[in-house]
Amino acid sequence: MKELVQFHPKDRRKYRVGGWHISIYQWMRINYGWKMNRIPFAEFLGRSRCILGEGAVIERLRRNNDLVIDPHIVNSGFIYDEVKRAALAAICRQYLDIGFEHGLPLLLSTPTWRAGRERIAAAGYQELDVNGDNFRFLDALRNNYGEYSRKVVICGLLSCRGDAYNPADALAPAEAREFHAWQATMLAEAGVDFLLAATLPALSEAAGLALAMAATGMPYIVSFVVRPEGTLLDGTPLKEAVAAIDAAATPSPLAYLVNCTHASIFRSALVHEVNSSSLVRERVVGLLANTAALSPEELDNSVGLVEEDPEAFGRNVAGLHGEFGMKILGGCCGTDDRHIGWLAKQLTRDLATS
């Protein structure tokens, strides 16, 4: 496999290749096969019986005492530092290796969870294409896997402006649309396979994010944090949140996910007699699960990592495919390669016998 090219973020020099002068990014595109022919994500999702999601990335980097997380953009600047880039790449490769080993389609997310324009400026990276560079970093890793790379999709990851566990921080729909439009455009123009707005606590900002993503023309997915009672953190019933966003955004989201939620809480929310519905169970296609059956408030205030046995995690999360037909199943806080490895193993067994 080819090694990822190391490049300086401010390198905008031209390089001579044959009779042409090209940029380092064009050189990488030529040598690493960027933008190889891939089927549209909607078709990819439709064809796939199940897609393995990556596990935690940011939270695993936080556990490494040798790495400093940026207070503004978190891990989005890691690609510009040799040591940090290596740490980020090592985690991503673990998930790629697991998908490759089991032959499962795989979903990776760009390290751009906090890469909105105001945060990038506050971190001092405003002269760089942080969103595009993070996609190209991940795409180069993907393309190291030969034919298997065609089974790997990369979403452009966005989230809410404020605290993802505090719905009181949520923007109003119009304000959210304006605020998130820039990042949605940057990720779409970079060439991601689809857009994903994740860890959303409130309907208002989720609706605005949907409008911003819809305007790019890219397929997109909206992902909530939910309570066992079948509501978002702001108290909106899941059935109302899905119906409201579907009605407000044109085109509507390709689908919905839930993330940063334990499998047991997800299951409870999905079958709630009052706040869920058959529409919710049709439109919600997966879970990126954490390892703690705690409320968001308890998780936010936890001083230590709450882990779940990796084998039990894999069994419980994989069971959602057979029980509800969930297509995208992966990890969030508390997970690592062990959890995703057991999930992949269980999914492979289940798919072989179904």
In the chain, helix, strand, coil percent, each to 5?
Answer: 45, 15, 35
* CA dihedral sign of residues 57, 63, 66, 68: positive
Give every CB contact of residue 215 below 8 A, 6+ residues apart in sequence.
177, 181, 184
By the 8 A CB rule, do 154 and 108 touch?
Answer: yes
Strand ranges in 14-84 using DSSP code E only, listed in sequence order: 14-17, 20-23, 51-53
Structure tokens at 6: 């190391």
Q: First vs last Cα of the chain: how many Å apart?
A: 34
Return the exposure string of 246-273: e unless at least 16 CB atoms fall within 10 Å of the residue's CB, then b.
bebbeebbbbbbbbbbbbebbbbbbebe
CA 118 to the chain's CA centroid: 20
The neighbouring-strand residues paired with 329 are 52, 287
- Smallest CA-to-CA distance from 315 within 290, 286, 344, 285 is with 344
Question: Which pLDDT value is given to residue 210?
Answer: 98
Task: Tell me the three state secondary structure of residue 76.
Answer: coil
Question: Which pLDDT value is given to residue 293?
Answer: 79
By the 8 A CB rule, do 180 and 222 touch?
Answer: no
CA atoms within 13 A on the CB side of 284: 30
Q: Give me the tens of pLDDT residue by residue for the chain, a chain 354 residues long.
A: 323 334 343 343 333 333 333 344 444 443 444 445 689 999 999 999 999 999 999 999 999 999 999 999 999 999 999 999 999 999 999 999 999 999 999 999 999 999 999 999 999 999 999 999 999 999 999 999 999 999 999 999 999 999 999 999 999 999 999 999 999 999 999 999 999 999 999 999 999 999 999 999 999 999 999 999 999 999 999 999 999 999 999 999 999 999 999 999 999 999 999 999 999 999 999 999 999 877 666 666 555 667 899 999 999 999 999 999 999 999 999 999 999 999 999 999 999 998
* CA dihedral sign of residues 316, 319, 323, 328: positive
Distance between CA atoms of residues 266 and 286, nearest Å: 10
Distance between CA atoms of residues 350 and 354, nearest Å: 6
- Smallest CA-to-CA distance from 62 within 74, 72, 77 is with 74
Distance between CA atoms of residues 149 and 139, nearest Å: 9
Structure tokens at 279: 């529409």
Q: DSSP secondary structure string, 208-275?
A: HHHHHHHTTT--EEEEE-B-TTSBBTTS-BHHHHHHHHHHHSSSPPSEEEEEEE-HHHHHHHHT-TTT
User: With 0-12 CB in 10 A as exposed, 13-18 as middle and 19+ as buried, what is 8?
Assistant: exposed
Number of CB atoms found within 10 A of residue 304's CB: 5
